[in-house]
Amino acid sequence: MISWSTKRRLVYGSIVMVPLMILTAIVSVSFFTAGKSSCTDGLQNGSELGVDCGGSCAKRCELEIVKPTILWSRLFPVSGDVYTAVAYVDNQNRTLKNTQARYIFRVYDEKTKLLTSKEGVTTLPANKRVAVFEFGLVVRNGVPKKVDFEFVSLGTWQTPTQPDHSVSITNSTLLSTSTTPRIEGTVTNTGLTAISSLELSAFVLDNKDNVVGASRTFVEDINPKASSFFAFTWPKPFALGTESCPVPLDVIMLVDTSASLYSTTTDTTLVVQNIASQFFKNMSDQDRVALISFAQTPQVLTSFTSVATSSRLFSSVTFATSTTKKEETDLSAALDKAQEISLASRPEARSITLLITDGVVTLPRASGDTNYAINQTVTKASALASSTQLYVVGVGPRVYTDLLSTIAGDRFSLSPAPQDVTRIYTRMRDRLCQKQPVSVQIHYR
């Protein structure tokens, strides 16, 4: 039997121990649950960055998410009043995907009147640019001129549970461009797991990098290390643009003003002016021109400057008005000056020298060597070729074609009359500004 004093000690001990046990339990629960959260309790706790989001929760917080960027949207005619709408979207979230991205295409006429719209749902893979297609868009109440694309709502952003497909793609250029355009290629599964379905998108770009065609196809069941053929086709040719120079030009224009060019039957001055005018007119705002006139001594009218400025300065070039003028011609000195100026050409530009002359040279001289002026001209032209491409147009009543052909090869053209200038320039333009080939892009997801 417990004595009264013992009972009293037990009561006092309980009063002290019970609160201690409760406190210990609370501390233990807090310790073992630290860093954990329910992700559904409506509280920001544990490792969460927001209320029930971030940290160990599958749902990501808004502050963690970069909104997808709409790079462009286009409308492509299919047949009659049927169109395909395409948008190109960039999901910059490196580790987040969205499988319920709801979107809408809106089609407008030239007065921004809404003609039709179409909604849909797409998936945005993590860290990838993807194409969103809407096929069979019918527009009957106007002529479509513009299409807008936007996301109406975005589902929950999640971390992918599986890695992205690992593939390599080889493809042709655009084939049969004048009939039924086509792209063919092969996709290879370079990963370790089979791919049940792979979406491929193709873009056709003109020579100004405008997307003029788009299509989509699917490739099914690609085993690891296996390959599968694919093809994209379109019913009619594309408008692939016009000729353009993919790189800017730095042009050195050498103009012979010596008396040997004077003619009593043909206005050589007008011929030269037409050549220069046609050349200036076809150049772009990115191009630059340096002007040098020469007879006995080369005169630099301007180093590299804008086409507009060079065109104005060309009007100040003075040509010999008769053959009685006792001025000789040193073409080698002019070529030497052109090489000096070519050193200031831009690294990203193509350097061109356009020489307008009759090729009749008399300077420099060397005692006992009657061909010294010609040999010096050939030597200087060869040296110039190391820094620029030399094009020559022969003008005047007496053109020394042997010399000009020697220094320019097939870049020499003969212009006996003003009406031939367009033909001369066309040939030169084809050499300088070749049509940039159409390009294609293939994307997958």
Q: What is the CATH number of the domain that holds 138?
A: 2.60.40
- How big is the chain, counted in residues? 445
Q: Are residues 321 and 262 in the same domain?
A: yes
Q: Are residues 276 and 218 in the same domain?
A: no
Task: Give the residue from 117, 132, 158 where a domain finishes.
Answer: 158
This prediction has a pTM of 0.53
Average pLDDT, rounded, for the chain:
86
Residue 407 in any domain: the answer is yes
Task: Look up residue 369 and give its DSSP letter.
Answer: B
- Distance, in Å, from the CA atom of 397 to the CA atom of 307, rounded to the nearest integer, reads 29
Geometric angle at alpha carbon 317, from 312 and 323, rounded to 5°: 155
Q: Is 373 helix (H, G, I), strand (E, B) or coil?
A: helix
Q: Are residues 335 and 389 in the same domain?
A: yes
Task: Give the residue from 131, 158, 185 where a domain finishes.
Answer: 158
Q: Are residues 186 and 112 in the same domain?
A: no
Residue 31 in any domain: the answer is no
Q: Are residues 301 and 199 in the same domain?
A: no
Q: What is the per-residue pLDDT for 35?
A: 44
User: What mean pLDDT is predicted for residues 70-79?
Assistant: 93
Contact residues for 70 (Cβ-Cβ < 8 A; gap 6+)? 87, 88, 89, 149, 150
Q: Is 9 helix (H, G, I), strand (E, B) or coil?
A: helix
Q: Are residues 256 and 403 in the same domain?
A: yes
In terms of average pLDDT, the best of 47-56, 318-327, 375-384 is 375-384
Q: Are residues 116 and 202 in the same domain?
A: no
Residue 323 has pLDDT above 70, yes or no: no
Residue 55 in any domain: the answer is no
- Nearest-CA neighbor of 237 among 216, 215, 212? 212
Confidence of residue 33 (pLDDT cuts 50, 70, 90): very low
Residue 433 in any domain: the answer is no
Task: Give the residue from 135, 158, 181 where a domain finishes.
Answer: 158
DSSP string, 38-54: -SSSSS--TT-SBTTBS
Q: What is the per-residue pLDDT for 439?
A: 86
Residue 419 has pLDDT above 70, yes or no: no
Q: Are residues 258 and 395 in the same domain?
A: yes
Count of domains for the chain: 3
Order of strands, edge to edge, in the sheet holding 211-222? 211-222, 195-205, 439-444
- On whether the CB atoms of residues 163 and 122 are closer than 8 A, the answer is no
Model pLDDT for residues 275-290, shown as the tens digit of each residue: 888 888 878 888 999 9
Q: What is the per-residue pLDDT for 57?
A: 79
Q: Are residues 232 and 329 in the same domain?
A: no
Q: Hey, which bits of 234-375 come out as E strands? A: 249-256, 288-294, 299-306, 350-357
* Domain extent at residue 109: 65-158
pLDDT: which is higher, 214 or 266: 214
Model pLDDT for residues 95-126, shown as the tens digit of each residue: 899 999 999 999 999 999 999 999 999 999 99
CATH number of the domain where residue 190 is located: 2.60.40.10
Residue 180 in any domain: the answer is yes
User: What mean pLDDT is predicted for residues 408-431?
Assistant: 72
Confidence of residue 34 (pLDDT cuts 50, 70, 90): very low
Q: Are residues 274 and 410 in the same domain?
A: yes
Residue 19 in any domain: the answer is no
Residue 69 in any domain: the answer is yes
Q: Which region among 61-75, 291-305, 311-325 has the lowest average model confidence (pLDDT)?
A: 311-325
- Distance, in Å, from the CA atom of 1 to the CA atom of 3, rounded to the nearest integer, reads 6
Q: What is the per-residue pLDDT for 313?
A: 93
Residue 33 in any domain: the answer is no
